[in-house]
A and B are shown apart, each in its own frame.
Chain A
Amino acid sequence: MAVKTRRYSARDVTILVIGLGVAIAVNVSVIWGPTLASIGLSGTGWNGIGPIEWIGGQNYHDLAAEYPPFWSAVRNNVLWLGFLGLVATPFGLFCAVLLDRRLRMSRFYQSALYMPVVLSLAVVGFIAQLVYSSDYGVLNAVTGLNVDWLGDRAINIWVVMIAAGWRHVGYVMIIYLAGLKAVDPALKEAAAIDGANERQAFFRVVFPTLRPVNVIVLVITVIEALRAFDIVYAINKGRNGLELLSVLVTENIVGEASRIGFGSAIAVILLVISMGFIVAYLSQMFREER
């Protein structure tokens, strides 16, 4: 404290209080306040106007028992996570490993892979329609099939996940590529001298050193899977087999029926899942920094 009083003049303190005050005020009023409010409102049957009435866990019960889109949304979100995590992310890593060597045209390969990353997910949704549309889509034209890729409840979620993966692979690839570039080349050389082949060198030596990057990629993958919204909304507003938790939340405010309490209950479920990963990530991140 003695040090502080000497270091900071009254003017310094004013500037700090204003600067940090604005930052904290914005953060609390737009992010954390509403987040906590979601938890509170999820126990009410509020419809946006009129008195707020506490109904306890009723919303959660209705959600699980009397709202069929909920379970199909849960299923789709789990599929989405599984697809990004088990297909798109490993493929991104694989491409990064292939590109992490001096190759001619490496720049071209990289650019092509991460071009979709700069596109808005809504635009990705529109492009998906060109490819998958049942009457004019390219896929049907090329394969000669007559499948309603986006309209058939049994398959449309898979097709949309491929479009999402198209963008996710590039994202993961850039991050891994940067991680791989930072790995000390001497490590790989040492492994090679010890007689390890490339695969052994990667899995036994390089991959373990990528742990921090792996954690980041895992969190990005989970968060992206929970946030998924734009693509399905651009395609069919997230109905008919494309339900997602995020869509259900939005439906309850954008649509005619404004069921604030009910929508908040879905939001709380999203919050609980995402907080699990966020806490795990941050504790890993800040533990090393002491």
Chain B
Amino acid sequence: MTLTAPAAAPPAQTRRPPVRRPVRPLRVLLHVFLTLVALGWLLPLVLAVYASLRPYEETARLGYVSLPEHLTLDYYAQAWTQAELPRYYLNTLIIVLPAVVVTLLLASFTAFAIARLRIPGRRTLLIVFTAGNLLPPQVLITPLYTLYTMVPLPSWLSDSQSLYDSYLGLILVHVAFQFGFCVFVMANFMRTIPEEINEAALVDGAGVWKRYWRLTLPLCRPVLAALSTLQFTWMYNDFLWALVLMSSGDKLPVTSALNNLRGQFFTDYNLLAAGSMLVALPTLIVFQLLHKQFVAGLTLGATKG
């Protein structure tokens, strides 16, 4: 769902003092406006948290905009235990962790081949991969679904005995779909690594693998950090693939499970709010901790010097 232009380091320039002193009242107005916008933006989230902390009976009586009589974490406990959220978190991990690792490995090698080796047709490859990442999933989901039901898997790999309704199937679709974006970003990054490093290694007789694994990949650490943060978030947030390519409720990743559990366990809005917050929590934590990587991932080279 994302794309960015080739990476280029912004010109490192020292900020010079502004030409004119800013007009004071305008500054104040600017802050007032931005504060209002920021608070408006946070409001729905704050509201969801607030609702999740109050008994439904109370909000039903007084409305959501009212002072609390009781604040409780009961709904969180209820969502956690009754809806068995830990199991769905585990499902997400089973799918997302391998998917991120495989995507980055495959994409970094492909990017290396495209950016650093003179393989024939490299431009076409890059275009095809990038374009694939931009397609809306629904364009290919119908045949993919049919295909998944037809591919048999041994039962130790998938208890449904097909790619459909298996963890492996979801991992595969994530890898394939996110691959294009990662190749695009990494190929652009690798182009900025000085060619001389490669030449020196060539003189030393280093093979392709060594040049990729020992030489190029360690230099890509910042991109890998940014991409893994971003990919974790996208894959974690996926809703559609699991909805279409999974049928057993107990194998769903947590984001899709939330919808499935509605009506069954999440009987009222406040409990649903607590569930939503629990589902949102990991991405919010990642965002807080890896703020820089996240933003870097989104904007990776969105700037063209």
A interface residues (Cβ-Cβ under 8 A, vs B) = 3-4, 7-9, 11-12, 15-16, 19-20, 22-24, 26-27, 29-35, 37-38, 41, 48, 95, 98-99, 102-105, 108-109, 111-123, 126-131, 133, 136-138, 141-142, 166, 169-171, 174-175, 177-179, 181-182, 184-186, 189, 192-193, 212-213, 215-216, 219-220, 223-224, 226-227, 229-230, 233-234, 245-246, 249-250, 252-254, 260, 263-264, 266-268, 270-271, 274, 278-279, 281-282, 285-286, 289
Whether A274 contacts B60 in the complex (CB less than 8 A), given A120-B237, A254-B244, comes out as no
B298 contacts chain A at the CB level, 8 A cutoff = yes
Chain B contacts with A in 234-250, Cβ cutoff 8 A: 236-240, 243-244
Whether A166 contacts B44 in the complex (CB less than 8 A), given A212-B304, A254-B243, comes out as yes
Contact A175 B299 (CB under 8 A): yes
* Inter-chain contacts of B147 with A (CB < 8 A): 29, 33-34, 37
Q: B128 to chain A: closest CB distance in Å? A: 7
Q: CA separation between A260 and B2, bound complex, in Å?
A: 28
Contact B237 A119 (CB under 8 A): yes
A-B contact pairs, 14 of them (CB 8 A): A19-B113, A23-B109, A35-B143, A115-B287, A116-B44, A120-B280, A123-B255, A127-B44, A136-B269, A166-B41, A182-B305, A253-B142, A254-B244, A267-B139
* Inter-chain contacts of B41 with A (CB < 8 A): 112-113, 115-116, 166, 169-170
B119 contacts chain A at the CB level, 8 A cutoff = yes
Specify the chain B residue showing the minimal Cβ separation from A178. B299
- The listed residue with most A CB atoms (<10 A of its CB), out of B37, B256, B286, is B37
B5, B60, B239, B302: the one within 8 Å of A120 (CB): B239
- Known contacts A30-B140, A250-B138; can you find 8 more A-B pairs with CB under 8 A? A26-B176, A27-B180, A48-B146, A109-B37, A120-B280, A122-B256, A216-B5, A233-B259
* Inter-chain contacts of B77 with A (CB < 8 A): none
Q: CA separation between A263 and B291, bound complex, in Å?
A: 40
Contact B134 A223 (CB under 8 A): yes
Contact B144 A34 (CB under 8 A): yes
Contact B208 A230 (CB under 8 A): no
- The listed residue with most A CB atoms (<10 A of its CB), out of B125, B144, B302, is B302
* Inter-chain contacts of B237 with A (CB < 8 A): 118-123
Whether A11 contacts B256 in the complex (CB less than 8 A), given A113-B37, A127-B44, A141-B63, comes out as no
How does the 8 Å CB contact mask read for B117-141 relative to A, with 1 for contact and 0 for none?
A: 1110001011111111011111111
Whether A250 contacts B299 in the complex (CB less than 8 A), given A130-B269, A138-B64, comes out as no
Contact A122 B258 (CB under 8 A): yes
* Inter-chain contacts of B78 with A (CB < 8 A): none
Contact B5 A22 (CB under 8 A): no
Whether A30 contacts B139 in the complex (CB less than 8 A), given A16-B119, A122-B255, A224-B1, comes out as no
B interface residues (Cβ-Cβ under 8 A, vs A) = 1-6, 8, 10-11, 13, 15-16, 19-20, 30-31, 33-35, 37-39, 41-42, 44-45, 47-48, 51, 59-60, 63-65, 106-107, 109-110, 113, 117-119, 123, 125-132, 134-147, 172-173, 175-177, 179-180, 183, 202, 207-209, 233, 236-240, 243-244, 255-256, 258-259, 269, 272-273, 275-276, 279-280, 283-284, 286-287, 291, 294-295, 298-299, 302-305
Whether A136 contacts B303 in the complex (CB less than 8 A), given A246-B136, A267-B138, A267-B139, comes out as no
Specify the chain A residue showing the minimal Cβ separation from B287. A118
Contact A281 B272 (CB under 8 A): no
Whether A193 contacts B19 in the complex (CB less than 8 A), given A30-B144, A249-B142, A282-B127, comes out as yes
B132, B145, B258, B284: the one within 8 Å of A31 (CB): B132
Q: CA separation between A131 and B60, bound complex, in Å?
A: 14
Q: CA separation between A34 and B152, bound complex, in Å?
A: 18
Q: CA separation between A222 and B158, bound complex, in Å?
A: 37
Q: B222 to chain A: closest CB distance in Å? A: 15
- The listed residue with most A CB atoms (<10 A of its CB), out of B34, B65, B135, B142, is B142
Contact A118 B113 (CB under 8 A): no
* Inter-chain contacts of A137 with B (CB < 8 A): 64
Specify the chain B residue showing the minimal Cβ separation from A222. B134
Contact A105 B64 (CB under 8 A): no
Contact A264 B143 (CB under 8 A): yes
Contact A112 B39 (CB under 8 A): yes
Q: CA separation between A130 and B131, bound complex, in Å?
A: 37
Whether A98 contacts B138 in the complex (CB less than 8 A), given A213-B302, A254-B244, comes out as no
Q: CA separation between A116 and B284, bound complex, in Å?
A: 9
B2, B126, B142, B243: the one within 8 Å of A263 (CB): B142
Contact A38 B280 (CB under 8 A): no
- The listed residue with most A CB atoms (<10 A of its CB), out of B11, B109, B275, B280, is B280
* Inter-chain contacts of B6 with A (CB < 8 A): 285, 289
Q: B25 to chain A: closest CB distance in Å? A: 15
